[in-house]
Amino acid sequence: MAFVTFDQENDIITEEEVKLTSGIWSEGAGTLTSFFTSSVQSSSNGQYFLQVFNKVPSDSTSAPQFAILYGHKAGSGSLGQPGVVGRRETATVYGQFLNLTQPPETTEFTFGQGTPAVCQQIYAISFDRARSREKVDPGNWELQLAGGQVNASNKKTIKLIDDSSTNTSILNDAGITEYNIVSGSIQGGSTTIHKAAASEGTDSGSFGKFYPDLGVLIINATRLQVSDLGDPTDAIGGAGPGRSALFELGRTSNASSTGGSYTGSNTLFSPASHSLHRMYHAISSGSLFQARREEEVTSTHYFCRAINSKFNQSNNPTWSSGSSTEPLEIFRDGKEKTYITTVGLYDDASELLAVAKLSQPILKSKSREALIKVKLDF
């Protein structure tokens, strides 16, 4: 007997929904501690869009994990003609993420609660779609940013998480799920928020916004610029009056110069001064980006029943003797038996649709029955 028709009522369970979480990085890893970029990007879109990999890009198993982008409403941080105000690349990035996350006709990002602070410059961290899939799991990510020399004793670190553990108003005016990015930690299995977004009543506002369905973190570059995060010996940004010695991740708004506070292309895109490289070095120095993804999986269960009188013979050549279709002697005279290794699911036209492999063969005979459950996830 080659085929058995399923009893639709008793053999098939459909549309069983379950939420699954797993590590968001390649191979299901939940934590990323090493970060790599590709030199191929540096001469073209690498000036405004930086992909980050889990391994050296020349490694055949390397894959993009997330991207870093910098946006400025006035276009600072991108090249342009002196004295000419134009729609530069960083202005395009700013507007793109503003349109993606905010209601129509919104002109600026605001951060914080109560009286939110207007922010003209942002960093966007966009998870690769192959990593985030359906969504990033709220409350299960932590990003550490660090300034100073890597492994230096004076390195200062800030830990960023979302406030989903306490925030109940999650839909913004555009109908998009939105959480605040705050200082805190999820290490040790519990969430600790150091300072809620509602209490970020500073001129710069909170650290940013998190959009789990979009797989995007919008980080307030101005908030990272404040002096209380500083380290005067930072090798990345240097120190100076009113500047963040920890990151120096913000830029002076100057739409009429070639690059905001930087006036030459050599310094604008050098690793020491370029905004993307500054953020990349802050992430790399922090040495921890922990995240999980969440997927809603719909499962169908097929109960494949091999009753005692069925599936006791096989077309496998090892079951018969030579060119004859007669079974080997050990399978004759009521001794018919087979070993089930594979289950195939077919449609009404006898077309094979799915194959299930068993971890080990199951003995089947007239005195033994088998029940195999095949689960298909969508």
Encode pLDDT of 160-197 as tens digits. Answer: 999 999 888 889 999 999 999 998 998 776 778 777 77
Looking at per-residue confidence, does 314 or 228 come out higher?
A: 314
Q: Do both 195 and 310 map to the same domain?
A: no
pTM of the model: 0.72
Closest alpha carbon to 312 in 362, 253, 263, 357: 362
Question: What residues contact residue 90 under an 8 Å CB cut-off, 6+ apart?
Answer: 48, 70, 71, 72, 75, 76, 77, 78, 275
Q: Which residue has the higher pLDDT, 213 or 336?
A: 213
Q: How far apart are CA 47 and CA 269, in angstroms?
A: 7
Question: At CA 253, angle to CA 249 and CA 255, rounded to 5?
Answer: 130
pLDDT bucket at 149, cuts 50 / 70 / 90: very low
Task: Give the least confident one: 112-116, 203-207, 228-232.
Answer: 228-232
Under 8 Å between Cβ of 76 and 90: yes
Q: Which residues pair with 158 in a beta bridge?
A: 145
pLDDT of 240 above 70? no
Residues 6+ away with beta carbon under 8 Å from 86: 75, 80
Q: What is the mean pLDDT of residues 366-376?
A: 92
Per the domain annotation, does 3 fall within a domain? no
Assigned token pair, 248: 């120096």
How long, in residues, is the chain?
Answer: 378
Give the domain extent around 183.
25-290
Among 258, 290, 322, give the residue marking a domain's end: 290
In this prediction, residue 215 carries a pLDDT of 96
Q: Is residue 239 part of a domain?
A: yes
The reply to whether 73 and 128 lie within a common domain is yes
What amino acid occupies position 199? Answer: S
The residue out of 290, 305, 337 marking a domain boundary is: 290
Instruction: Single out the residue of 90, 143, 2, 65 nearest to residue 269, CA to CA.
Output: 90
Ranking 6-10, 314-318, 359-363 by mean pLDDT, the lowest is: 314-318
Q: What gap in Å lies between CA 227 and CA 1, rounded to an integer? A: 78
Query: What is the pLDDT at residue 257?
Result: 39
Higher pLDDT, 140 or 256: 140
Q: Give the mean model confidence (pLDDT) for residues 343-369.
A: 92
Q: What is the pLDDT of residue 334?
A: 65
Burial environment of residue 226 by CB neighbours within 10 A (0 to 12, 13 to 18, 19 or more): middle
Q: What is the percent of the chain where pLDDT is above 90?
A: 42
Per-residue pLDDT band for 81 (boundaries 50, 70, 90) equals low
- Quote the pLDDT of residue 82: 52
Instruction: Let me know whether 159 and 280 are in one domain.
Output: yes
The predicted model gives 105-122 an average pLDDT of 86
Token digits of residue 164: 């989903």
Instruction: Write down the residue that tokens 């709220």 correspond to.
Output: 138
Matching residue, tokens 């966009």: 126
pLDDT at 268: 40
Q: What is the pLDDT of residues 46-67, one digit of tens each?
A: 677 899 999 998 899 999 999 9
Q: What b/e sequence results for 245-260 when a residue is b if at least 16 CB atoms lie within 10 Å of its CB, and e otherwise?
A: bbbbbbbeebbebbbb
Q: In the predicted model, what is the mean pLDDT of residues 303-332?
A: 76
**Do 244 and 345 fall into the same domain?**
no
Any bridge partners for residue 68, and if so which?
50, 125
Q: How many domains does the chain have?
A: 2
Residue 325: pLDDT band with limits 50, 70, 90: low
Dump pLDDT digits (tens) for 9-23: 999 998 788 888 999
Does residue 254 have a pLDDT over 50? Answer: no
Better-predicted residue by pLDDT, 277 or 268 = 277
Does residue 110 carry a pLDDT above 80?
yes
80 pLDDT band, cuts 50/70/90, is low
User: Do 154 and 193 fall into the same domain?
Assistant: yes
Considering the domain architecture, whether residues 357 and 215 belong to the same structural domain is answered as no
Task: Say yes or no: 299 and 286 in one domain.
Answer: no
Residue 228 has pLDDT above 50, yes or no: no
Beta bridge partners of 7: none
More confident position, 259 or 327: 327
Contact (CB, 8 A) for 275 and 70? yes
Residue 2 falls inside a structural domain: no
